[in-house]
Structure 1
Amino acid sequence: MNSLYYGDNLDILRKHVKDESVDLIYLDPPFNSKRAYNVIFQDKTGLDSAAQIQAFEDSWTWTEETQKAFDEIMSGAYPAQLQNMMQAFREFMGINNLMAYLTMMAIRLVELHRVLKKTGSIYLHCDPTASHYLKILMDQIFGITLFNNEIIWKRSTAHSDFIQGAKHFGRLHDILLYYTKTDKYKWNQLYQPYDQTYIEKIYKYVDKDTGKRYTLDNIAGPGGAAKGNPKYEIMGISRYWRFSKEKMQHLISEGRIVQQKPGNVPRYKRYLDEMPGNSLQDIWMDINPISSFAKERLGYPTQKPITLLERIIQTSSNEGDVVLDPFCGCGTAIAAAEKLNRNWIGIDVTHLAIALIKKRMADHFPDSKFEVIGEPKSVYDAEQLFKQSPFQFEAWAVSLLSGQPYKSKGGGDKGVDGLLFFKDGKSNYQKIIISVKGGAYQPKDVRELKAVLERDKAPMGIIIALKPPTKGMLSEAAAMGKWKIPGVDLEFPVMQIVTIKELFEGKKPDLPQWHETLKRANREIREKEKTLKLL
């Protein structure tokens, strides 16, 4: 079954992914750009909201954990060439953020090499910030001779960096480092359509009967007799030919051999519509980045277009193969794998990403079946998550109501942990404020949330709590009464308290139908479904 894991991909790979069990790996790790990336949610109008939450901070620092990873590489059963290179890196650059990043990547790339099948391929998506260092790492782990391509993807349109004071050429591309496990790897040749200039130059003739474009190709046998080509005379010309005499006569009868005038060497009429196009090269300029108006845009930082992942998956895997994305973010590789009838494994370290992927898959493929591993399945699990990371606990708890997480790591929520939107009877959007309590809470917390509702002009509030409320808290909530929706004869409690246990049991707060705060992904059709529709 397809699997979506919450957790550190190093731990997940070691505990759950078997040796040589994966056909294709695509990874788009943080680039060490020292930027903080935020998810931009829909607001009540469906446009981008000013309310954002930090998805991840793309800045690696040297910590005790990094030192442990480096020590493991240097003292463990790792390739000697990798150990030598890591030591050289450290001597060259010292202990800094880049060295921390390379250490983090090295220990994970070793695991990815382990899980990749002998016929498998790996594509590492990066930018010029660290691509040259990452290539050296991959050369040591996968082997210099198993480097296939540095693919350049033009991810952006022209920049006016000079106007902003920059003194460099516009930075428009990302890099994909493409390696294989062995020299016996899967490869499906893909093609690109010819551009119009090429067509008009090469396929410059038009058939009078069919209106189809064609070119005239050389049919002389290269290498002559030494290459086994037959020699005979046709149309008054004696040469070594590419085709046997019988084949040549057949082509002449079909009108495929053309002599433009007596004495000219005959040529083969090749139609444009018979050709697949240009074989795909290592500079990709035909896949547009996701613009602010793109239908597939989900608001997740660094989201890649699904056509980019489809190209990689179609080239280096077959139907039924297993695709792994260990930094799966908003799940583009997963969605592409599902669409192309591949099995998949996705891993991410944030519950925000897991919630987004679950919703995306439900929107794309309503009948999709997959297992989510690492999310709390019990109150005990939820308690453990709260102890590990209150921030991740809050994001997960809000996702149980399909809400929008509100604050970034480090605070700044002003009493709001999540939001829900709904439309009242007069077609105005109203918001519900969610507060998450993982530890102890008191009646004053209920009163404080009521003050937040008044401040933010929100008619309703919900407290999601690990621990059950006291009678005093329930009394405080009940005393706040009910709110009548303008324009309709419906009313709902101003304040509600729901526990994690109740949510696990299927009990939901009494709420109006709300507006989705995570952007809806387009419905996708799997390739096998397209085939069935044509039958």
Structure 2
Amino acid sequence: MNNQLFYGDNLDVLRRHIKDETVDLCYIDPPFNSKRNYNQIYNNIGKEDRAQAQAFIDTWTWDDLANYGLAEIKENYHGKFTQQTIDLICGLDKVLGKGSLFAYLVNMTLRIVEIHRVLKPTGSFYLHCDPTASHYLKLVLDTIFCSQGGDFRNEIIWSYKKWAVAEKTFSKNHDIVLFYNKNANKILFNVLLQERAPSTLKRFGKKKIVSGHDETGKRIPSQTTNEDSTGVKMSDVWDIPIIAPSSKERLGYPTQKPKALLERIIKASSNEGDVILDAFCGCGTTVEVAQLLDRKWIGIDITYQSIGVIIKRLEDSFGKEVLENITLNGIPKDIESAQALALKKDDRTRKEFEKWAVLTYTNNRAIINDKKGADKGIDGIAFFDSGKDNPEKIIIQVKSGKVKSGDIRDLLGTITINEATLGIFITLNEPTKDMIKTAKEAGIYQSQFMSNPVDKISIVTVREIIEEQKRLDIRLVLEVLKSAEKQKEIKSDQIKINFAD
């Protein structure tokens, strides 16, 4: 099978596209919030620091989708839910009330049930979480896995060092990974070894230490054998550093996990050729490691920015030919599907059309403007080398509705305010003659690195992007997609990004 990358809601993808018992290993790292106080979540009192909690609240809110999900569980939609799961969710409804935490648990329950369905009998499931909600999630997992012949295997502690100062608490320096298997009698598990302590190696060399009891129960004194072994069975506490800001591995994705963490999970619970699923694949660490270890993989994410990161990441790591063996699903391939994406009603996915247009046209090299609320006329930004001390800036704007010549004049104003050099106007609808005339009146630009001059204002249609495969033909400074947050780490005297507050 081809490796598969899905753009869309993972619940819908799991239900419509992933068949029963086809996955050997699933790892997920869903959005969770480690900054909110436990009591504040539990009581849903709404007095927590909203700025810190915003990402969690934006992802998991009590809305129509949460109501539908709760109804599915209580009514046992298509017989998917065990009685234990139904009883647990009904009980948590009374305890937690309909707030962001309960919305998170309802949505996670729906997805974990589908993950359990697609796992092979020998399959394993790793859920990455933090202490904020891990105790609730373990209850959910117990009702889904253990009630159907599966088993809880480990609570893995991922221990790392962060130098943040915590007031009136111990520093929070670990995450939790809950490890379950679908069938307690058929688990696939490869024993991993960790290095012995230096003091042990110094005393015994590379000889394996053996101890135990005889048939009478009497302890046998420790002794060594001639077997060459420098490792002991790996424990459930994993000391793996977080990705340093200066690391080449770092992409600027806020929840990026180190490859070493996923390598350990994939090696322990799968073999070469097995199918690995990550239903919240984010920046693609799981799929990159799966590719590296000769596994097949399925990745799902609901944001096109993540899909763009993954495509570029795989291309950078394995070359463009790796894309030949990847099937992209859910990405607009014709005008009708582009229009459907542009007209999405869900506020959380409404900007996905803009992200898709910006990243597709720039071959995933632009930066998305993720600012909340009004974007001040900037949907994306890119930089190119003109031979000057600082890179030149390109402003990208996307429109899915009716367009007019005034939109081009507005873009010209945005370019001036933000000290940009070029502007790109991407439109779903065909531009008017007045728009084209206004854009041409802005003139042309050419640098020593360009073989031909370019329009200062370029109008690009979605039809051209899809049917003619039209792409930005300017060599950009930033060849790897990075978020605006990541760009702040670059010295301000090199590149200054201003989204015009």
The equivalent of 1:44 in structure 2 is none
Query: What whole-Å deviation, never above 9, does each CA across 1:494-523 have from its counterpart, x for those lacking one?
Result: 111010111123353674311225359xxx
Q: Is 2:189 aligned against 1:187?
A: yes
Aligned partners of 1:398 and 1:268: how far apart in 2?
63
Deviations 1:420-448 (A, max 9, x none): 21101346411111111111111111111
- Closer/same/farther in 2, CA of residues 326 and 493 from structure 1, 3 Å limit: same
Q: Secondary structure at the match of 1:515?
A: coil
Which one has the largest radius of gyration? Answer: 1
In the aligned structure 2, how far is the partner of 1:445 from the partner of 1:58? 30
Residues 220-255 of structure 1: per-residue CA shift (max 9 Å, x gap): 99338x99xxxxxxxxxxxxxx9xxxxxxxxxxxxx
Partners of 1:159 and 1:339 in 2: how far apart?
33
Number of residue pairs matched by the alignment: 448
Q: 1:149 aligns with which of 151, 154, 157?
A: 154
Look up the SS of the partner of 2:343 in the other structure: helix
* Matched ranges for 1:234-383 at <5 A: 270=226, 274-285=228-239, 287-366=240-319, 367-368=321-322, 369-383=325-339
Q: Percent identity?
A: 42
* TM value normalised by structure 2: 0.84
Decide whether aligned partners of structure 1 residues 276 and 473 sit closer, same or farther in structure 2, where only a CA change above 3 A counts. Answer: same
Give the secondary-structure state (helix, strand or coil) at the position aligned to 2:199.
helix
Deviation, structure 1 residue 195: 2.4
Which amino acid in the other structure matches residue 382 of structure 1?
A: A
Task: Report the counterpart of residue 489 of structure 2 in structure 1.
Answer: none
User: Does structure 1 conserve the Cα–Cα contact (< 8 Å) formed by 2:34 and 2:131?
Assistant: no
What letter matches 2:111 in structure 1? Answer: R
Deviation at 1:90, TM superposition (A): 1.2
The 2-side partners of 1:192 and 1:418 are apart by 45
State the alpha-carbon separation in 2 of the partners of residues 156 and 412 from structure 1. 37
- AA in 2 matched with 1:415: G
Kept after mapping to 1: 8 A contact 2:423/2:456: yes
Q: Residues 497, 507 of structure 1: CA spacing in aligned structure 2 closer, same or farther, 3 A cutoff? A: farther
Whole-angstrom CA distance in 1 between matches of 2:173 and 2:388? 46
- Cα 1:509–1:496 change in 2 (3 A) is farther
CA–CA distance in structure 1, aligned partners of residues 452 and 305 of structure 2: 32
| Aligned counterparts of 2:352 and 2:211: Cα–Cα separation in 1 | 67
Question: For the Cα contact (< 8 Å) 1:3–1:370, is it kept in 2?
Answer: yes
Which residue is 1:61 aligned to? Answer: 61
What does 1:313-462 correspond to in 2, within 5 Å?
Answer: 313-366=266-319, 367-368=321-322, 369-388=325-344, 389-400=349-360, 401=362, 402-408=364-370, 410-426=372-388, 428-462=390-424
Does residue 122 (structure 1) correspond to residue 84 (structure 2)? The answer is no
Identify unmatched segments of 5+ residues in structure 2. Answer: 37-53, 483-501
RMSD: 2.6
Q: What 5-or-longer segments of structure 1 have no aligned partner?
A: 36-53, 204-212, 228-241, 243-264, 521-535
Which one-letter code corresponds to 1:381 in the other structure? S
Between the two structures, name the one with larger relative contact order (CA 8 Å, sep ≥ 6): 1
Does the 8 A contact of 1:351 with 1:396 survive in 2? yes
Matched, 1:90 2:93: yes
Alpha-carbon spacing, 1:9–1:323, altered in 2? closer, same or farther (3 Å): same
TM normalised by structure 1 equals 0.79
Tell me the CA shift for residue 31 of structure 1: 1.2
Residue pair 1:34, 1:58 contacting (<8 A) in 2 also: no
Change in 2 beyond 3 A, CA 1:221/1:502: closer
1:222 alignment partner in structure 2: 214
Task: Find the partner of 1:101 among 100, 104, 111.
Answer: 104
The structure-2 alpha-carbon separation of the partners of 1:443 and 1:90, relative to structure 1 and needing over 3 Å to count, comes to: same
Question: In terms of mean alpha carbon deviation, does 400-409 or 365-374 score higher?
Answer: 400-409
Residue aligned with 1:176, SS: strand
Give distance in 2, aligned partners of 1:90 and 1:220. 50
Cα–Cα, structure 1 residues 459 and 486, in superposed 2: closer, same or farther, change >3 Å?
farther
| Partner Cα distance (1:7, 1:410) in 2 | 21
Write the distance in 2 (CA, Å) between the matches of 1:98 and 1:56.
9
Q: Which amino acid aligns with 1:309?
A: L
* Cα separation, 2, equivalents of 1:509 and 1:61: 37
